[in-house]
Amino acid sequence: MTTIKTAENYLSGQVLLIDKPLNWTSFQVVNKLRWEIRQAFNIKKIKVGHAGTLDPLATGLLVICTGKMTKQIDRFQGQEKEYTGTIILGSTTPSYDLESEINEIFPTKHINEDLIHETTKQFIGEIEQFPPIFSALKKDGKRLYEYARAGETVEVKSRKIVISDFEITAIDNLNIHFRVICSKGTYIRSLANDFGKALNSGGHLSTLRRTKIGDFSVTNALKIDNFIDSLKKNT
């Protein structure tokens, strides 16, 4: 990753690869980096944005654009993404992940490794997916999660997504470890929920890590503290 040494570098536009920590929102990461850049170089105003939201309970690659490179955010967002994570079978949550408590238990005795591997084939290619009700998508001016947290029921339309690869990397009792390559707009939480249904059981996401966006890889990303340290060394 190129070391940035001047304020002009950031204002003219940079692409920063950040490894988002657990329990941070993507918005918090952007705000933190914007503040640190402004403080380090005494910049009054600078544009900073990210190319694709990660949920607070997810970790991994955030592509952060500064200055004039923010004009490229839509292009980066449209690229394929790779994730790794874990689905817990036999139970569901309203949010499809660990943000909410388990609300239903399902049988799992009929599930074996062959069935798990075979079921992944149903999700390869272009499929219809319903976004989670606990999501930041807007309906009638409100975020879906606002309706969900208020106990209100709203109609959520499905949308077409593309899953290029859905690989089971390990099976540990009811913990199913996976790798997915998918298009923009894919909700891995919804995939976990739908995968459980396809197994005639239930499922919810317990861990999620984004590993790639297009040609960008989390292996080249910096932790937030490391990025801040690099700023201090350059000022």
Judge whether residue 3 has pLDDT over 60. no
Residues 190 and 115 in one domain: yes
Q: How far apart are CA 235 and CA 233, in angstroms?
A: 6
Q: How far apart are CA 96 and CA 220, in angstroms?
A: 30
Judge whether residue 2 has pLDDT over 60. no
Residues 90 and 199 in one domain: yes
Which residue in the list 55, 165, 172, 215 is annotated as catalytic? 55
Residue 2: inside a domain, yes or no?
no
Residues 65 and 116 in one domain: no
* pLDDT (tens digit per residue) in 28-70: 999 999 999 999 999 999 999 999 999 999 999 999 999 999 9
Residues 108 and 207 in one domain: yes
Helix (H/G/I), strand (E/B), else coil: 227: helix
Residues 118 and 198 in one domain: yes
Residue 129: inside a domain, yes or no?
yes
Q: How far apart are CA 166 and CA 120, in angstroms?
A: 6
* pLDDT (tens digit per residue) in 158-178: 899 999 999 999 999 999 999
Residue 151: inside a domain, yes or no?
yes
* pLDDT (tens digit per residue) in 120-159: 999 999 999 988 876 666 666 666 667 666 666 677 788 9
* pLDDT (tens digit per residue) in 95-115: 999 999 999 999 999 999 999
Residues 89 and 164 in one domain: yes
Residues 63 and 170 in one domain: no
Residue 152: inside a domain, yes or no?
yes
Q: How far apart are CA 166 and CA 124, in angstroms?
A: 7
Q: Which domain holds residue 199?
A: 81-213
Residue 68: inside a domain, yes or no?
yes
CATH code of the domain containing 201: 3.30.2350.10
Q: How far apart are CA 95 and CA 25, in angstroms?
A: 16
Residues 17 and 86 in one domain: no
User: What pTM did the predictor assign?
Assistant: 0.91
Residue 1: inside a domain, yes or no?
no
Using alpha carbons only, give the angle 163, 88, 151 rounded to the nearest 5 degrees. Answer: 90
Which residue in 48, 94, 38 sits closest to 231, CA to CA?
Answer: 38
- At residue 148, what is the residue type? A
Partners of 139 in beta bridges: 142
Residues 86 and 164 in one domain: yes
Q: Which helix (H) or strand (E) holds 83?
A: strand 81-89
State the pLDDT confidence band at 6, using cuts at 50, 70 and 90: confident
Helix (H/G/I), strand (E/B), else coil: 71: helix
Judge whether residue 7 has pLDDT over 70. yes
Helix (H/G/I), strand (E/B), else coil: 166: strand
Query: Structure tokens of 47?
Result: 């544009």
Residues 64 and 99 in one domain: no
Residue 222: inside a domain, yes or no?
yes
Residues 32 and 114 in one domain: no
Instruction: Please confirm, yes or no, whether 55 is among the known catalytic residues.
Output: yes
At 179 the pLDDT is 98
Domain tally, the chain: 2
Residues 130 and 20 in one domain: no
